[in-house]
A and B are shown apart, each in its own frame.
Chain A
């Protein structure tokens, strides 16, 4: 029983991170029908920027709280600028191109950003500075740490804030209008260039936050870390119904839990033949099942032909 509870907690933490990243995919897809495969790299750069800024400040003897806050702020700002730049430079010129063109461009941008990060930060694994105190709690035989608790809390609050933004503000209304019909929205006076840029900027800010969480949680980072994280978050977005915000949140958490439970029980189920390091297969089994049986996802609506 306690391993079950333990894995649920681990899955919830991992799932909160997936959910934050998945929101970046789903916001952009919802508004312009593009799968921004470079989003995982934005998250990676968020992590590495935090290492540089916070790590340098801690080495210089500054308080950890200050360093952590500065690292997070720098990472969010850099990623917002990066998201804005990606849209402006890589995707906007292709707005009216066939669907496949921006998709290939997104994959290209992903490779460019990975190599750029490798040139800046090198090929080696980097240690993420400890920004949060190490504390353990125990509930009903399951352990969790302060880091885990904070990840779940902060991501829940952030997602709540995003829902408020999208469903209660003028910008959110313009976003929903644009996602339903860009041509009509612009005739009603919505500047869709700004709305699309806002989707990229907000998605990238969430990605930066997720990047800091990943770093804090695993205490290690690498220029290729965005690839797998991005694929998993994309899977989460598809599971929830891509284009749907609540779907991305639920899909992220569900995927995290499925993965954690899979990793926890795979050894027992296969008589020790497969170990927990096979946990990655679960995300992609989920992806395949969703695509086969319910391609529109849990909350998704049927959409037209979109590549």
Chain B
């Protein structure tokens, strides 16, 4: 039995009368690539937002890495080891690519306000280490030559990569990718698949929300399907693909 990293227990979220999530329970094992799919409006992103502390669930909750995940503020989820990218890219546009990644290092370093004002040796050493690690991460996602360009001037594919590098900078145990292949052509999607495989090989668990069914089925160890805010099925891709309810959800039969 694999070790569970994230357990969602009957998570519910309502917006007015709309039930965006209806008692969703699922579990993500350490080291796997877990796919979360479903038609538009099925509640995938709402699930992400509840998990990372942007929304407070109306019912249920999460257990992460053996302890309850109570995120009053999103930075606490980041401290626990959950990082994410966004469906619609949200970089710090007026900062350089390198600086964007350096922000992600924030949570894993110590120096505070006083250190920043007085610039003692420890602070300077730490900042040098942050810069080095950020440079390494840009190299990892293969955009190191764009390090000093403003994030808003990067190409679309490079912005997606930069978001992944920024998320990796927080040293996540669970990396959540919200539609990373959206808007990518076949070549870019193929490169993305290699990148995700590499991240998994390095030991990071990945939660993948994606519309590209081919990518999800090829990459994921297990897949969960949401429809109208409720979990339809959670199983290995081969089973999910053949499930009658999934086919109905997607084809609207």
* Contact surface of A with B, Cβ cutoff 8 Å: 165, 168-174, 176-177, 180-181, 183-194, 198, 201-202
Residues of chain B with a CB closer than 8 A to A169's CB: 116, 119, 123, 127
Q: Are A176 and B95 in contact (CB under 8 A)?
A: yes
- In the complex, 12 of the A-B residue pairs with CB atoms within 8 angstroms, ordered by the A residue number, are A165-B117, A169-B127, A170-B105, A170-B126, A171-B113, A184-B90, A186-B74, A186-B75, A187-B84, A189-B170, A190-B75, A191-B75
Residues of chain A with a CB closer than 8 A to B75's CB: 186-192
Residues of chain A with a CB closer than 8 A to B93's CB: 180
Interface residue B107 (Cβ < 8 Å from any Cβ of A): yes
Residues of chain A with a CB closer than 8 A to B90's CB: 181, 184
Q: Are B95 and A187 in contact (CB under 8 A)?
A: no
Residues of chain A with a CB closer than 8 A to B104's CB: 188-189
* Contact surface of B with A, Cβ cutoff 8 Å: 52-54, 73-75, 77-79, 83-84, 86, 90, 92-95, 99-100, 102-109, 111-113, 116-117, 119, 123, 126-127, 130, 166-167, 169-170
Q: Are A187 and B78 in contact (CB under 8 A)?
A: yes
Q: A181-B90, A188-B166 in contact; A174/B74 too (CB < 8 A)?
A: no
CA distance A172 to B102 in the complex (A): 11
CA distance A202 to B117 in the complex (A): 9
A184-B92, A188-B83 known, 18 other contacts, Cβ within 8 Å = A169-B127, A170-B116, A170-B123, A171-B112, A171-B113, A174-B106, A176-B94, A176-B95, A177-B92, A180-B93, A183-B74, A185-B103, A187-B78, A188-B169, A189-B75, A189-B108, A190-B75, A201-B113
Residues of chain A with a CB closer than 8 A to B102's CB: 170, 173
Closest A residue, CB atoms, query B102: A173
Least distance between A32 CB and chain B CB atoms (Å): 15
Closest 5 CB pairs of A and B: A189-B107, A189-B78, A171-B116, A186-B74, A169-B116
Closest A residue, CB atoms, query B99: A173
Q: Are A189 and B106 in contact (CB under 8 A)?
A: yes
Q: Are A172 and B103 in contact (CB under 8 A)?
A: no
Residues of chain A with a CB closer than 8 A to B83's CB: 187-188
- Option from B54, B95, B167 in Cβ contact (under 8 Å) with A183: B54
Least distance between A167 CB and chain B CB atoms (Å): 9
Residues of chain B with a CB closer than 8 A to A186's CB: 73-75, 78
A-B contacts at CB below 8 angstroms, number: 96
CA distance A173 to B106 in the complex (A): 9
Q: Are B54 and A187 in contact (CB under 8 A)?
A: yes
Q: Are B130 and A188 in contact (CB under 8 A)?
A: no
Residues of chain B with a CB closer than 8 A to A181's CB: 90, 92
Q: Are A191 and B73 in contact (CB under 8 A)?
A: yes
CA distance A235 to B76 in the complex (A): 38
Closest A residue, CB atoms, query B119: A169
Q: Are B106 and A188 in contact (CB under 8 A)?
A: yes
Closest A residue, CB atoms, query B126: A170
**Which DSSP category, helix, strand, loop or mixed, fits chain A's interface?**
helix
Q: Are A180 and B92 in contact (CB under 8 A)?
A: yes
Residues of chain B with a CB closer than 8 A to A170's CB: 102, 105-106, 109, 111, 116, 123, 126-127, 130
Least distance between A140 CB and chain B CB atoms (Å): 39
CA distance A183 to B83 in the complex (A): 13
Residues of chain B with a CB closer than 8 A to A171's CB: 111-113, 116
Residues of chain A with a CB closer than 8 A to B86's CB: 184
Q: Are B107 and A188 in contact (CB under 8 A)?
A: yes
- Option from B52, B95, B108 in Cβ contact (under 8 Å) with A173: B95
Residues of chain A with a CB closer than 8 A to B105's CB: 170
Least distance between A51 CB and chain B CB atoms (Å): 26
Residues of chain B with a CB closer than 8 A to A194's CB: 112-113
Q: A177-B103, A180-B92, A189-B107 in contact; A172/B116 too (CB < 8 A)?
A: yes
Least distance between A78 CB and chain B CB atoms (Å): 17
CA distance A51 to B9 in the complex (A): 62
Most buried by A among B54, B105, B116, B130: B116
Least distance between B192 CB and chain A CB atoms (Å): 21
Residues of chain A with a CB closer than 8 A to B116's CB: 165, 169-172
CA distance A9 to B51 in the complex (A): 58
Closest B residue, CB atoms, query A174: B106
Least distance between B72 CB and chain A CB atoms (Å): 11
CA distance A170 to B167 in the complex (A): 17
Q: Are B103 and A188 in contact (CB under 8 A)?
A: yes
- Option from A165, A177, A201, A202 in Cβ contact (under 8 Å) with B95: A177
Q: Are A190 and B106 in contact (CB under 8 A)?
A: yes
Q: Are B54 and A176 in contact (CB under 8 A)?
A: no
Residues of chain A with a CB closer than 8 A to B74's CB: 183, 186-187
Closest B residue, CB atoms, query A176: B95
Most buried by B among A165, A170, A180, A187: A187
Residues of chain B with a CB closer than 8 A to A165's CB: 116-117
Least distance between B81 CB and chain A CB atoms (Å): 10
Residues of chain A with a CB closer than 8 A to B53's CB: 187
Least distance between A231 CB and chain B CB atoms (Å): 29
CA distance A198 to B106 in the complex (A): 15
Least distance between A248 CB and chain B CB atoms (Å): 17
Closest A residue, CB atoms, query B107: A189
Residues of chain A with a CB closer than 8 A to B130's CB: 170
